[in-house]
Every structure is written in C-alpha cells, then in structure tokens.
Amino acid sequence: MAKYAAFVQAGAAVFPKPKRTGTMGLFTKDIKTMNDLFVHQLQDIYYAEQQLTKALPKMAEKANDPQLKQGFLTHLEETKQHVKRLEEVFKMHGAQVKAVDCPAIDGIIEEADETAGDVADKAVLDAALINAAQAAEHYEIVRYGSLIAWAKQLGRNDCATVLAKTLEEEKATDKKLTSLAESKVNLRAAS
C-alpha cells in the first residue's frame, strides 16, 4: 500500500494535473466575469472596425464593378460610424476606450489581400472581393450578435440599442453583397 502511494505520488510529480484556468479553459486571468468578457469583446471589435476602415478603401480600389466599388465606399463611411458607436458604448459602460489585437480579422484581411493578388481576371477578382468582404461581415455579425445579447444580460439595454444599429448595417451590407454576386458578378466571373 505504501508502495502504491509512493507510485501515485511519483506519478503525480511526472504528470501534474492541468491547472484549471477558468470555465471551459477559455478565460484568461483578466477575464473572469461576463462583464469582463463584454468589455474584452468590445475592445476586439473596436480593433476589427479600425482595421476595416483601412482595408475597405483598398478593396474599393481593386473592385471593377462600379456598384461594388460604391458599395465598399458606402460601407467604409458606415464603418467609420461603427468605430464612433463603439467609443460611445465604451463611455456609456464606463470602460476605457481601448483596442486589443484581433488575429481573426487580421487573418480575414490578410487572406483577402493574398487572394486578390492571385486573381488575374477582373471579373473573377470582383467575385473574390465579395467573398472576402462577406467573411468580414459575417465575423462582425457574430461578434455584435453576442455583444448585444451580453449587454442585455448585463442590464445594459442602452448599449445594446447602439450596438444593434451597427448590426443592422452589417446584415444589410451582407445582403447587398449577396445580391450583387448573384445578380451579376458571379455570372460575369463564370463567363
């Protein structure tokens, strides 16, 4: 028995139990509560929106279809508003206006750049740009969807209302991109 206990002890030393870092292992030490998570995701989407204000003019420049070009420029103006609305939400919530790196949006933008660089045909390039833009929109839709749900849960319906305005614009942009692709861009790309 003593031998077994010694074995278990030795085993424990070799294979230490993984330390629990929090629920589901998702939370870092800085994120303990739903409020922390809400603020962190605000910082994350704040960074993402800022990056998109830099990426959209480049996408507009690359687009060949005039409607697509205009669509990117229109959404650029909306995106500038999204940045301002987030600043408003930070202030309403009494949180510091701050951005944290968001590798997800960096990856989406980087991939869009690479793909655009690889596409030689102008019509096919438009189809690729729409696809890249929709990846960004879907990312934003997911983030805002959760932020709104969490804001309501935290009793911040005021923040949820502001965030919902942005979510509607992301959804509308996504729809416009789909109809642009289906009505002409994909047809032209395939011909």
Residues that bind Fe ion (CB under 5 A): 49, 79, 82, 140, 170
Which residue lies nearer to Fe ion by CB, 113 or 123? 113
Shortest distance, CB of residue 167 to Fe ion, whole angstroms? 9
Shortest distance, CB of residue 81 to Fe ion, whole angstroms? 8
Which residue lies nearer to Fe ion by CB, 62 or 82? 82
Name the residue whose CB lies closest to Fe ion.
82
Which residue lies nearer to Fe ion by CB, 172 or 187? 172
The dihedral sign for the CA sequence 25, 27, 28, 29: negative
d(CA 48, CA 142): 13
Shortest distance, CB of residue 170 to Fe ion, whole angstroms? 5
Contacts by 63-70, CB closer than 8 A, 24 or more apart: 63/125, 63/126, 63/129, 64/122, 64/123, 64/125, 64/126, 65/126, 65/180, 65/184, 65/185, 65/188, 67/180, 68/126, 68/129, 68/130, 68/180, 68/185
Q: Distance between alpha carbon 168 and the CA centroid of its chain, in Å?
A: 15
Which residue lies nearer to Fe ion by CB, 105 or 128? 105
